[in-house]
């Protein structure tokens, strides 16, 4: 047997939002090799070290191959031992427990957690099952803790989600600025394209704005080390400089932008719980009530904001509120952000001179303000995982809009994503607790109408109240208001901050937790029922990457044992419940405000019967096996060209994959989100297409008439419809009740600097930032099973400054306790590693469950996006 016998086929890397193409070789039902796809425009044959091991993640020794349930004496027992069961036993118990929670608590008593690792059809099917079937919006992806701030800002600024540019901007630009993005480790193939450009184009300058020296610094011309949380001030300095230097592209701004401001202190989304609940109770009517406390308000309640250990979500409506201001108001807002003020505030390396730091800020302003220079700003979790995550995303757009450096080749504000389908599934399909497909949301009646009509549901089936976001689902579990959770493609009990709370809630309270997983992750270990899943190339599927590129692959090998795809599991479970059980009257707190009589979701069964539904119909029959869907046949190119692939497809009816894709695509076609027909993506020579795909052509740059078929008015049009009625005001609040609409324009926001929610003090005296490393994917459940990757990076260490270590009597490789206000963990310190924090700062990757850094992190969220802040935890360390 030689390599000549291998069968090669196209695939997509599942390890980050870059979305590299890979080629997969199989032989005798096993993946034997993978390599970069030379025809893939994203990566042109290159992969990073994770990408090359896409095949090996399937073959870990402890792969889960059969359903496991906690049992004693043959019956489910929360305190019992994991015992192998059949799929029927698993689904039977899952349905019993579902009905118990649903009968007691209604649609708000259940929850689903997913991620941007769901395939497009999987995310869509689960969204439909939850929102249309169970009438619950308690579904949220891990994108909430990854990209939600970017989403919120896209919607606020442009009224439409996803970046206007694409990766080709790298080859057109003269400048790349990474803001809170260690691209060399987190987006390595894109970083390679940046480095290629820098080496082949002498004018190209690369800047790394970061809180610690990292691998991205190595390839940069300018490294700017800032204090945590000061990026908002730095962006206001840039805006001020652009104005002072007369570098505003006035014609562009006049034609395409309006200026906005909002409340200047929206708090930290703080909700005091546990030891503070007693004091807070008088102002917070119930634990479910969403509130925002400012620092002053927290103090007014007798709380020490530095000591508050659980931070809850806040009121989006208030936090996201904004109004129209004039250019002069904006100018007044940024006026205090002088070079002197911002340099003092933001200088992050105490050993660097203030003058040297100032010179760097001036150099940065030179690059942005130069009208001849094209510029791409990249950012990722450093911006997004931030208690001001939405603001800082809005601010980077403001800078690009002021300069007119947007929506054309080489000029682009570009938010990178972490998950392979954070865009294609988590965001666009509508898996967030507040969303519906194609950027629609549950709390707008027209959006619900469109969705109900597309899904052929009786009117008022959909629940108008945004559900719990991922952190709140965990809190609801702790509160007991949710008692049934299904986790797919995610490991939330390891990745959600303040993890000790959720682990305890899972194991010690009366609830039922189902986890679909390929390996015994932390989440699987705390579950009551584990469902074994088919992994990426053991099923057909598609992802959408960060440049709006939708890419697909075929099933290459069968899954081991009884493992089944997430989609199969969703569909099978939907056969266990009838319409009569879920489309009855449902009490939902707070629905009175949404115009629902007596605050209840109505019984829609009789209206449904008039439409042809029967009460005894299963949700599968009603939602997935519709006559229209059954009419879909499997695409010709697949059947004809690839008969040697496994085509059994593990029990998922053939029509379903295509039917779900086409049904989902119908939401976006004609509405700025057009996907190509399903079959097109499966053609052998197609390596993904960037939506909107109109008349067979993809759209490389949006909002620009040269490239975007949706631009109808002029050369540039921000057509997202963001311009709802805005009240005219000034920086401090509305002054005029004049309502104004500005179709086709983008918003330039003034947002002030705000102090972080938690800072080092005499007791907890170091900053901790968490993040990713090149070798491992997220919580490491897959990449730690690849021997080569595990050997390369066997454990997470705490990177810290050598002098900080010496001061504490420590040296590199010492074992230490790391303690925050939320818990403590043991790890080894490293002072000469690839990450070199300045004094007072430390870094740890979150891939290693044996170290478990998320027990330390603060679950403070951006009050608008509800994204957690993993970048700013106060810790202390001491020798073990
Ligand atoms: Fe490309 Fe990201 Fe996969 Fe690396 S991990 S090969 S950069 S998609």
User: Does the pLDDT of residue 269 top 70, yes or no?
Assistant: no
Q: Is this complex's ipTM strictly greater than 0.95? A: yes
In angstroms and rounded to an integer, the radius of gyration of the C-alpha atoms of the chain is: 26
Instruction: Specify the CATH architecture of the domain 68-147+420-681.
Output: 3-Layer(aba) Sandwich (3.40)
Mark out the alpha helices in 496-578 (DSSP H runs).
499-508, 522-526, 566-574
Residues with CB under 6 A from ligand 1: 13, 15-16, 18-20, 43, 47-48, 50-51, 187-189
CA distance 54 to 51: 6
SS3 state at 821: coil
- How far, in Å, from the CA of 52 to the mean position of ligand 1? 9
Residue nearest (by alpha carbon) to ligand 1 atom 5 = 15
Number of C-beta neighbours around residue 251 at 10 A = 9
Select from 260, 228, 256 the least CA-distant residue to 395. Answer: 260
Q: Is 321 annotated as a binding residue?
A: no
Identify the burial level of 78 via C-beta atoms within 10 angstroms of its C-beta, where 0-12 means exposed, 13-18 middle and 19 or more buried: middle
* Residue in 313, 395, 419, 551 annotated catalytic: 419
Q: In sequence order, what are the residues at sequence separation of 6 or more whose Cβ sits closer than 8 angstroms to the Cβ of residue 878?
A: 808, 816, 817, 819
Q: Would the CA dihedral through 804, 806, 810, 812 be positive or negative?
A: positive
User: Does the pLDDT of residue 644 top 80, yes or no?
Assistant: no
* Residue in 11, 19, 21, 50 annotated catalytic: 50
Angle at which helix 389-403 crosses helix 148-158, to 10 degrees, equals 40
Paired tokens of 6 = 């291998």
Atom of ligand 1 at shortest distance to CA of 190? 7
CATH 3.90.650.10 fits 3-59, yes or no: no
Q: Count Cα atoms within 13 angstroms, Cβ side, for 617.
A: 19
- Give the pLDDT confidence of 697-719 residue by residue, as tens digits: 999 999 999 999 999 989 999 98
Mark out the alpha helices in 173-230 (DSSP H runs).
183-186, 188-200, 215-218
CA distance 219 to 398: 27
Q: Count Cα atoms within 13 angstroms, Cβ side, for 865.
A: 33
pLDDT at 633: 64
Buried b (16+ CB within 10 A) or exposed e, 106-116: bbbbbbbbbbb
Select from 661, 648, 680 the least CA-distant residue to 541. Answer: 661
DSSP per-residue codes, 846-880 = S--TTT-GGGTS---B-TTT--B--S-EEEEEEE-
Paired tokens of 392 = 């800082």
CA distance 12 to 22: 5
Backbone dihedral angles phi then psi of residue 131, each to the nearest 5 degrees:
-80, -40
Mean pLDDT of 113-125: 96
Q: Is 854 annotated as a binding residue?
A: yes
Q: Is 724 annotated as a binding residue?
A: no
Active site residue 275: no
Mark out the alpha helices in 106-230 (DSSP H runs).
120-128, 148-158, 169-172, 183-186, 188-200, 215-218
Q: In sequence order, what are the residues at sequence separation of 6 or more whose Cβ sits closer than 8 angstroms to the Cβ of residue 675?
A: 550, 661, 664, 665, 668, 669, 691, 693
The one-character DSSP state at 558 is: P
Residue from 18, 38, 774 to probe ligand 1 pocket by mutation (most atoms less than 8 Å from CB): 18
On whether the CB atoms of residues 618 and 575 are closer than 8 A, the answer is: yes
- How far, in Å, from the CA of 384 to the mean position of ligand 1? 20
What is the pTM (predicted TM-score) of this model?
A: 0.93
Q: Is 423 annotated as a binding residue?
A: no
- Give the pLDDT confidence of 795-815 residue by residue, as tens digits: 999 999 999 999 999 999 999
Q: Is it true that the peptide bond before 692 is cis, omega within 30 degrees of 0? A: yes
* Residue in 180, 418, 542, 840 annotated catalytic: 418
Mean pLDDT of 771-792: 96
Which part of the chain has CATH 3.30.200.210?
3-59
Query: Could you give the percent of the chain with pLDDT greater than 70?
Result: 90
Active site residue 147: yes
pLDDT at 285: 30
pLDDT at 635: 53
Atom of ligand 1 at shortest distance to CA of 18? 8
Residue nearest (by alpha carbon) to ligand 1 atom 3 = 51
Backbone dihedral angles phi then psi of residue 244, each to the nearest 5 degrees:
-60, -35
Active site residue 50: yes
Identify the burial level of 306 via C-beta atoms within 10 angstroms of its C-beta, where 0-12 means exposed, 13-18 middle and 19 or more buried: middle
SS3 state at 185: helix
Which part of the chain has CATH 3.40.228.10?
148-263+322-415
Paired tokens of 502 = 């959720």
pLDDT band with cut points at 50, 70 and 90 for residue 439: confident
Helix (H) or strand (E) holding 412: strand 412-415
SS3 state at 651: helix
CA distance 574 to 619: 5
CA distance 691 to 673: 6
Mean pLDDT of 161-173: 95
On whether the CB atoms of residues 122 and 128 are closer than 8 A, the answer is: no
Number of C-beta neighbours around residue 435 at 10 A = 28
Residue nearest (by alpha carbon) to ligand 1 atom 1 = 20
On whether the CB atoms of residues 143 and 427 are closer than 8 A, the answer is: yes
Which part of the chain has CATH 2.40.40.20?
766-879
**CA 650 from centre of chain:** 29
Select from 39, 1, 5, 33 the least CA-distant residue to 20. Answer: 39
Residue from 13, 170, 187, 549 to probe ligand 1 pocket by mutation (most atoms less than 8 Å from CB): 13
Distance set, CA 556 to CA 645, 678, 720 (Å): 6, 19, 39
Select from 419, 549, 416 the least CA-distant residue to 143. Answer: 419
Mean pLDDT of 498-512: 94
- Give the pLDDT confidence of 293-305 residue by residue, as tens digits: 444 555 555 554 4
Paired tokens of 642 = 């690839």
Q: Is 385 annotated as a binding residue?
A: yes
Active site residue 215: no
CA distance 227 to 298: 25
Instruction: Specify the CATH architecture of the domain 148-263+322-415.
Output: 3-Layer(aba) Sandwich (3.40)
SS3 state at 424: helix
User: Does the pLDDT of residue 464 top 70, yes or no?
Assistant: yes
Query: Could you give the percent of the chain with pLDDT greater than 90?
Result: 75
Which part of the chain has CATH 3.40.50.740?
68-147+420-681
Averaged confidence pLDDT in the chain: 90
Backbone dihedral angles phi then psi of residue 28, each to the nearest 5 degrees:
50, 45
Active site residue 381: yes
Mean pLDDT of 585-593: 81
CA distance 259 to 629: 46
Residue from 50, 193, 778, 786 to probe ligand 1 pocket by mutation (most atoms less than 8 Å from CB): 50
SS3 state at 584: coil
Instruction: Specify the CATH architecture of the domain 766-879.
Output: Beta Barrel (2.40)
Mean pLDDT of 538-545: 92
DSSP per-residue codes, 239-284 = HHHHHHTT---HHHHHHHEEEEE--S--TT-----GGGHHHHTTTS
Mean pLDDT of 488-492: 97
> What torsion, rounded to 10 degrees, do the Cα atoms 436, 431, 261, 374 define?
-110
pLDDT at 735: 86
Residue nearest (by alpha carbon) to ligand 1 atom 4 = 48
**Longest pairwise C-alpha distance within the chain:** 79
Atom of ligand 1 at shortest distance to CA of 19? 8
- How far, in Å, from the CA of 239 to the mean position of ligand 1? 34
- How far, in Å, from the CA of 860 to the mean position of ligand 1? 30
User: Does the pLDDT of residue 516 top 70, yes or no?
Assistant: yes
* Residue in 69, 71, 146, 862 annotated catalytic: 146
pLDDT at 627: 86
On whether the CB atoms of residues 742 and 733 are closer than 8 A, the answer is: no
Active site residue 146: yes
């Amino acid at each position: 047997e030689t390599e000549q016998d291998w069968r090669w086929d196209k695939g997509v890397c599942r390890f980050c939002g870059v979305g590299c193409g890979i080629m997969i070789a199989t032989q005798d039902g096993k993946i034997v090799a993978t390599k970069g796809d030379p025809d893939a425009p994203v990566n042109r044959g290159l992969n990073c070290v994770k990408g090359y091991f896409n095949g090996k993640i399937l073959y870990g020794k402890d792969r889960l191959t059969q359903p496991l349930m906690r049992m004693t004496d043959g019956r489910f027992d929360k305190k019992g031992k994991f015992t192998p069961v059949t799929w029927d036993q698993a689904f039977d118990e899952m349905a019993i427990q579902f009905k118990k929670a649903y009968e007691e608590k209604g649609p708000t008593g259940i929850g689903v957690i997913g991620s941007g690792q769901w395939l497009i059809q999987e995310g869509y099917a689960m969204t439909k099952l939850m929102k249309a079937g169970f009438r619950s919006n308690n579904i949220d992806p891990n994108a909430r803790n990854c990209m939600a701030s970017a989403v919120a800002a896209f919607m606020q600024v442009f009224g439409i989600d996803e970046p206007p540019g694409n990766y080709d901007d790298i080859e057109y630009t003269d400048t790349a600025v990474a803001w809170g993005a260690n691209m060399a480790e987190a987006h390595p193939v894109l970083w390679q394209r940046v480095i290629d450009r820098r080496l082949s184009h002498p004018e190209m300058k690369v800047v790394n704005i970061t809180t610690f020296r990292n691998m991205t610094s190595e390839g940069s011309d300018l490294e700017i080390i800032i204090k945590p949380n000061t990026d908002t001030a730095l962006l206001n300095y840039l805006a001020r400089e652009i104005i002072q230097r007369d570098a505003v592209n006035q014609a562009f701004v006049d034609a395409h932008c309006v200026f906005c401001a909002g409340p200047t202190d929206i708090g930290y989304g703080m909700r005091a719980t546990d030891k503070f609940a007693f004091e807070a109770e008088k102002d917070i009517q119930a634990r479910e009530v969403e509130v925002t406390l400012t620092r002053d308000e927290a103090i007014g309640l007798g709380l020490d904001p530095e000591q508050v250990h659980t931070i809850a979500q806040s009121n989006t409506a208030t936090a996201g509120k904004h109004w129209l201001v004039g250019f002069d108001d904006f100018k007044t807002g940024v006026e205090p952000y002088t070079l002197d003020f911002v340099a003092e505030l933001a200088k992050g390396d105490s050993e660097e001179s203030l003058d040297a730091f100032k010179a760097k800020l001036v150099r940065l302003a030179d690059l942005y303000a130069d009208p001849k220079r094209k510029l791409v700003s990249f950012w990722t979790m450093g911006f997004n995982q931030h208690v001001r995550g939405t603001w800082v995303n809005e601010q980077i757009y403001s800078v690009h809009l002021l300069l007119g450096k947007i929506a054309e080749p080489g000029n682009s504000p570009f938010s990178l994503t972490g998950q392979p389908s954070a865009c294609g599934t988590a965001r666009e399909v509508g898996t967030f607790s507040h969303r519906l497909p194609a950027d629609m949301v549950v709390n707008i009646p027209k959006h619900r109408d469109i969705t109900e009509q597309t899904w052929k549901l009786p009117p008022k089936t959909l629940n108008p109240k945004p559900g719990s976001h991922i952190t709140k689902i965990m809190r609801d579990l702790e509160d007991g208001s949710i008692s049934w959770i299904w986790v797919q493609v995610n490991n939330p009990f390891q990745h959600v901050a303040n993890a000790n709370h959720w682990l305890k809630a899972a194991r010690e309270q009366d609830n039922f937790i189902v986890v679909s997983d390929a390996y015994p992750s932390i989440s699987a270990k705390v579950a009551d029922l584990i469902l074994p899943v088919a992994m990426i190339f053991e099923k057909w599927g598609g992802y959408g990457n960060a440049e709006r590129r939708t890419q697909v692959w075929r099933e290459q090998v069968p899954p081991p044992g009884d493992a089944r795809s997430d989609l199969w599991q969703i569909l099978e479970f939907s056969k266990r419940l009838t319409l009569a059980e879920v489309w009855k009257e449902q009490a939902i707190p707070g629905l009175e405000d949404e115009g629902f009589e007596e605050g209840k979701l109505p019984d829609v069964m009789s209206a449904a019967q008039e439409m042809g539904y029967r009460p005894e119909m299963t949700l599968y029959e009603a939602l997935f096996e519709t006559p229209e869907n059954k009419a879909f046949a499997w695409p010709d190119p697949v059947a004809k060209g690839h008969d040697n692939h496994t085509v059994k497809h593990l029990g998922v009816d053939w029509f379903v994959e295509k039917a779900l894709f086409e049904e989902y695509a119908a939401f976006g076609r004609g509405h700025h989100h057009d996907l190509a027909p399903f079959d097109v993506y499966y053609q052998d020579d197609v390596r993904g297409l960037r939506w909107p795909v109109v008349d067979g052509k993809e759209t490389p740059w949006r909002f620009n008439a040269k490239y975007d078929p949706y631009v109808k008015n002029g050369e540039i049009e921000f057509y997202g419809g963001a311009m709802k009625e805005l009240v005219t005001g000034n920086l401090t609040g509305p002054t005029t009740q004049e309502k104004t609409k500005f179709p086709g324009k983008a918003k330039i926001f003034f947002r002030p600097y705000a102090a972080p929610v938690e800072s080092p003090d005499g007791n907890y005296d170091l900053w901790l930032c968490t993040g990713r490393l090149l070798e491992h994917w997220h919580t490491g459940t897959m990449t730690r099973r690849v021997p080569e990757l595990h050997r390369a990076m066997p454990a997470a260490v705490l990177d810290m400054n050598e002098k900080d270590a010496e001061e504490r009597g420590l040296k590199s490789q010492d074992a230490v306790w790391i303690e925050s206000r939320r818990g403590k963990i043991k790890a080894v310190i490293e002072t000469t590693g690839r990450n070199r924090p300045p004094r007072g700062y430390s870094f740890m990757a979150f891939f290693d469950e044996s170290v478990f850094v998320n027990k330390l992190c603060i679950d403070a969220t951006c009050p608008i996006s509800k994204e957690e802040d993993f970048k700013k935890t106060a810790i202390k360390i001491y020798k073990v």
